[in-house]
């Protein structure tokens, strides 16, 4: 488990109390003042002597009852000098699916349906902003997009279909092992953290997919194709990272519509008139032709 530095301990203390853990919190106002003034180094370094830190507080209540939330513990630095390590640590909790299958962000947006906005009642649904994945930004039924809260609640997914989770207003990476900060992904055999070598026939494989239309409708033309990562069972295109990058084929130019084109009559330009006045005639040739590989030729 990798722990993350969070700079606002006062906020976290209030979250613990709000979660019903106040009976286990022995900190005083003076303690909180000391916490506000505390400096610590980031957790890329190992902890100092454990005696420099207080004991970890009890785990907070889970921020969600289902579909993944977060719990945390706090500790304080007992040294007059700077402590190494983090004063807070998180882990995921209650990962069982929710029975109603409603997204957590939807619930948070909908909670503002009963709050007047610019003097009117609106119905809100989530609006995702890649630059602010953990802000509660919602769209009304009238098309208004507004940031209704500075941050979503802990455990809210950073984006649809992702395990990454918003914690303390920041998007934290979550691996397929459901560990915060983990970079593990499901390999092409469907194994979390695997190297793709555990199955005889990988679940994900490279397949060719067209990226352009054929250059002609008959007679032989060309089109471009590129490789896409595809689920062998469902046939659904997947993220390219799930397939073995070393086996990815290069984009190709392939032949298409190689069937013969039906013959067509081709008319040439009219010739000069046979006389300059008094009524004459002029002629033009009409030729039966067919097209193959972009070249038109005369049918014998």
Rounded mean pLDDT of 281-293? 83
Rounded to the nearest 5°, which phi and psi values hold at 285? -90, 140
Q: Please provide residue 190's backbone torsions phi and psi, each rounded to the nearest 5 degrees.
A: 85, 15
Output the pLDDT for position 47: 56
| Mean pLDDT score across all residues of the chain | 80
Q: What is the pLDDT of residues 192-247, one digit of tens each?
A: 888 877 776 778 889 988 878 888 888 888 888 889 999 888 888 888 888 888 88
Do residues 128 and 160 lie in contact, with contact meaning Cβ atoms separated by under 8 Å?
Answer: yes
Asked if residue 111 has pLDDT above 90, the reply is yes
- Low-confidence winner among 43-52, 134-143, 188-197 (lowest mean pLDDT): 43-52
Q: pTM of the full predicted structure?
A: 0.51
For the residues of 92-126, what is the DSSP string, one character each?
EE--SPPTT---HHHHHHHTTTTS-BTTB---EEE
Torsion, Cα of 148, 149, 154, 158 (10° steps): 60
- Residue 49 pLDDT grade (very low, low, confident, very high; cuts 50, 70, 90): low
Place of tokens 């970890």: 56
- The SS3 assignment for 12 reads helix
Q: What mean pLDDT do residues 54-80 have?
A: 91
Please check the confidence at residue 253 and state whether its pLDDT lies above 80: yes
Whole-number Å distance between alpha carbons of 22 and 297: 90
Domain extents for the chain? Answer: 9-93, 104-166, 204-256, 264-298
Where are the extended beta strands (E) located within 141-251? Answer: 145-149, 165-167, 170-172, 204-210, 221-231
Considering only residues 3 and 125, tell me which one the structure prediction assigns the higher pLDDT: 125
Task: Flag whether pLDDT at 52 surpasses 70.
Answer: yes
DSSP 294: T
CATH architecture of 9-93: Single Sheet (2.20)
DSSP state of 260: P
Least confident of 22-36, 76-90, 164-178: 22-36
pLDDT at 24 over 70: no
Q: What is the mean pLDDT of residues 28-56?
A: 52
> Could you read off the pLDDT of 138-154 as tens digits, one per residue?
999 999 999 999 999 99
Buried/exposed 245-266: b ≥16 CB within 10 Å, e otherwise: eeeeeeeeeeebbeeebeeeee
One DSSP character per residue, 30-61 reads HHHHHHHH--EE-TTS----GGGBPPPPPPPP
Q: How far apart are CA 60 and CA 69, in angstroms?
A: 11
CA distance 105 to 148: 12
Least trusted range by pLDDT, from 45-54, 125-134, 135-144, 188-197: 45-54
d(CA 151, CA 112): 14
Q: What pLDDT does residue 158 have?
A: 94
Amino acid 228: pLDDT: 92
């Amino acid at each position: 488990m990798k722990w993350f530095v969070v700079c606002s301990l006062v906020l976290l203390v209030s979250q613990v109390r709000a979660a019903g853990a106040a009976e286990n919190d022995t900190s005083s106002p003076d303690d909180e003042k000391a916490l506000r003034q505390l400096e610590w180094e980031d957790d890329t370094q190992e902890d100092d002597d454990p005696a420099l830190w207080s004991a970890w507080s009890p785990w907070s209540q889970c921020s969600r009852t289902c579909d993944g939330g977060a719990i945390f513990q706090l500790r304080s630095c007992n040294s007059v000098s700077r402590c190494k390590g983090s004063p807070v640590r998180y882990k995921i909790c209650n990962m069982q699916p929710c029975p109603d299958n409603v997204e957590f962000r939807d619930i948070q947006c909908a909670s503002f349906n009963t709050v007047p906005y610019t003097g009117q009642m609106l119905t809100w649904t989530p609006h995702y902003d890649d630059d602010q994945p953990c802000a509660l930004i919602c769209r009304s039924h009238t098309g208004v997009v507004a940031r209704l809260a500075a941050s979503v609640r802990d455990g809210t997914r950073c984006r649809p279909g992702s395990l990454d989770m918003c914690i303390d207003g920041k998007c934290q990476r979550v691996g397929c092992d459901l560990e915060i900060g983990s970079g593990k992904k499901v390999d092409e055999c469907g194994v979390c953290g695997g190297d793709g070598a555990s199955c005889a026939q990988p679940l994900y494989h490279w397949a060719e997919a067209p990226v352009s239309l054929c250059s002609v409708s008959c007679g032989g033309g060309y089109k471009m194709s590129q490789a896409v990562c595809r689920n062998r069972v469902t046939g659904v295109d997947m993220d390219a990272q799930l397939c073995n990058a070393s086996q990815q084929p290069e984009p190709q130019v392939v032949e298409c519509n190689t069937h013969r084109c039906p013959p067509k009559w081709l008319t040439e330009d009219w010739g000069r008139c046979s006389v300059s006045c008094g009524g004459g005639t002029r002629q033009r040739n009409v030729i039966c032709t067919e097209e193959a590989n972009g070249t038109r030729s005369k049918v014998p």
